[in-house]
Structure 1
């Protein structure tokens, strides 16, 4: 069955996104914003107005060329060829041609832009004027007759006009042309005879005053558009200036809040570390003393009292461990260690932790390793043991009869899957989605019947996520629950190499304890005396090197609360040396995942129990 989709157990750690430009000066951001608006808009406006000017000029040229072609069509080429003397200007034929041209000019030039309409010929290689619709007189006040007469020379004729006469191609001057009548933009169209020979060229001059007025209007509009674009850009710059000022304040607040959150997290971590020591150490001593008292010659009723006290204390210690572990995971202070995991030893330890309760409930508690499953693999031994203890402990707790079975097998390469089956009460569908939530219990009666904080499965889920694994379950009310835990498990290809050991039994077996905690000293000393082992104590880790030599200690136990970096390095150096009588180094009250643990032969985490201390002191030297 595929893993169930579960609600996330921890909120994502979303850090504030600090913009790279958040610390730039506000005026610089405002200026850049204004330029970012102004430059593209200026380019667009300029391009639009250049296009508009080009359209106006092309429209004017095309209109002039159309006028010239139309007017050239009313010129009689045969009669025009006869006009060679000024005296002919009074002839009916000449006047008829002028009237025809003037009439069509007035019809075509609705806006009155056309100033002159005339014809020219090539005479002895020179351009000479023939027809001119301009009235006689000096209207422009230049002292000359405005009207051109038959075969008057036209030395100022443009190259465009001459080319039209020579090649018979209609054309428009590319730029305004200036002669004695003024500055004009002119268009020219050829006049052909019946043999398709160019006999004349008709010219149309338009005065640029109106056109320049239109261009001036266009320039004014362009200027207004630039002013509008600059105003909008200025507003954008002011807006970004104000926005950036507020952003800098917001970023400052976020930075302050982040620093406060980090300080709070550090304070919480420090608090948890302190509470871990201050709560667990006294409870360790209390439980240890109770275990020592149970071995004394007491009355049966006194043994019952001690048994009850130990069970209540052990339950309280479990609750303390759950709350502290959950808090450490929640603030992200948990660390994982990659070490060798002995699968048979792991399953034995997990089943041993619940064997007494399973026996009381008359449950069939079994652990099985499927064929092909590696018995030695890489993983975090401590966290894996903690994870399985929570799940198996829950299975035993909620099973009144039947069995609890643990199976380890390989389903996918490089992955080990643990299957925990029970025949307990089961979990209703309405409660399954929230099963991994913190402090959740599906029934209020569970707390009264079984106790607990509702953190076991929440811790299991978080541990599984931290180890990049998966956890899911199947359950049916009244028939039991099956949990599946899939974790990375790369097999160990080579067996661990043991350190060189001295012959068993060589020398004395004295114990050297380094702790500043009276309760830890009392617990360890009590176990050592029961085993008839000499014990010596120091209160600082720096006293260890000299004391090991002076006391000829074979077991050195160091409380994690006084452990410092130089002592860790000293222990590592001592373990590298080949000694005649090897020394066993043990770390007490260790934190799971602490990198300092690797320096010691034995690591005992809270709660310290006389049985684990005794097991360590019976390890052969």
Structure 2
């Protein structure tokens, strides 16, 4: 009985707050890491596009004329204007480019030669044009490294100015013999990067909101759990005190005291096992939360706790799906998604996806039918998991947006080597004015669809990118109120 009195007091509020804070911090860490990776991938994509523009522009510079332009007095000459003409035309034909220019180095001195701002300026560019031979006095390390190493260089950050922000890249200029004779610089406004990051920030904000709700729920459940333990231990202590004064009076009290001691030990063991499992499973943000939820569901069968734990599980799965989709999208837009091509038994893959979705369809009273043509090959050289991902997205969407009727999956041979899959439904259909934005990231038919059916608006965008990587196409036919048919073709040899 002394053990019960010496046990540290239980604080349900403290433990509930601690559990909520742990869930919040670990989940926020996962969201932050995901955001950082997505931002890095988007910036790398912008760097790659900028270098490609620079390489193209470098081919427009005439090395012979460039070598002739050495004196300030040649500014505005026929040779100067003739050398600028193709660069200016290229500048006008591109979006987001602020300025194209070339420079040479004599000894340790870098001098500007050509600059498109002499003939053409974008809005907001009010600096005077540099005449031929103007000495570069700046300290841009990437510009100087392009001369020192005669290699391509691109800035690793966005330069912020009062009226605009931009990224710079530098491409070496070489003549027909491969001789290095200068550097072409290109500055591009960072609006495209900001546009790409807008969707990433929105997803991060939504994830942050979900994390906050999840942490509050986790803290409340932990509070309830610890409060129940505190009450149980309080009762045990009260009984122990009564038994301590009545040991001499009856054997029944001794047996009851032993029973209470056993119950207290079991409760303490359950607490220890729960806390050990919680800290072990929190090694990764979302899987830890979901594993803890599963453990609590097994221990607490009352309806109130089951309802709250179910909400945690659904919220955690929703957040995990958002993070997975965001990572997929970031990898695809950065061009680092890879296909693992191997012989795949396509019929079992398709059948397995349909079987997994059948329970969702039956729960809504929607029929789900599969029709695989006899000529569909037994095996296909492709990435089976990516094919499964696209099928799951399209069939899942069809079931989600169909209240009654049926969803039909048809599989045929496409161009003697690949597949064509049609997923038709009798659902709500898609308004004509929403067709052009359906495959955009974070886009849905309208705000009411998001509220009614949920989702992030990433499934179709990811599916489109995967189909494209597989050498296929994706499209749909739909009218509002008349159902939809989404189709895609899937090649047998994906492009790397």
TM-score interval (norm. to shorter): 0.3 to 0.5
Q: Which has the higher contact order (CA 8 A, sep 6+)?
A: 2
Give the TM-score, by structure 2 length.
0.47
Q: TM (normalized to structure 1)?
A: 0.39
Greater share of helix residues, 1 or 2? 2
- Give the structure with higher Rg (CA): 1
